[in-house]
Copies of this chain bind each other. A is one copy, B any other.
Amino acid sequence: MKRKNMVIAQSGGPSMVINQSLAGAVLEARKSPKIGKILGARHGILGILGGEYVDLRKPSAKKLAAIAETPSSALGSCRKKPDAADCRAIFEKFRELDVGYFFYIGGNDSADAARIVAEEAEKEGYPLVVYHIPKTIDNDLRSCDHTPGFGSAARFVASAIKGDDLDNRALGGVKIDIIMGRDAGFLTAASALARDRADDGPHLVYLPEVPFSLDRFVKDVKAAMKKFGRCVVAVSEGIRDKDGTPVAARFAAGEKDSHGNLQLSGTGALGDFLASHLKAKAGVKRVRADTFGYLQRSFPGVASKVDQDEAFAAGQTAVRAALEGKLSKGTVAILRAKGRKYQAAFAPRPIAEAAKFTRSVPKEFIAKNGHDVTAAFVEYARPIVGALPKCEIF
Contacts and interface: CB of A to CB of B under 8 A. Distances in A.
Contacts of A166: 14, 70-72, 298, 300
A71 B163 contact: yes
A252 to B, nearest CB: 11
B77 A299 contact: no
A169 B295 contact: no
Copies in the complex: 2
A294 B297 CA distance: 18
Contact of A71 (B10, B167, B279): B167
Contact of A297 (B14, B167, B300, B391): B167
B294 A167 contact: yes
A330 to B, nearest CB: 25
A183 interface: no
A141 interface: no
A300 B159 contact: yes
Most buried by B among A75, A78, A267: A267
A298 B164 contact: yes
Interface of A: 10, 13-14, 40, 43, 54, 59, 63, 66-67, 69-79, 159-160, 162-164, 166-167, 169-171, 175, 253, 265-269, 271-272, 275-276, 279, 287-295, 297-302, 388-394
The 4 closest A-B pairs by CB, nearest first: A268-B268, A266-B288, A290-B293, A72-B166
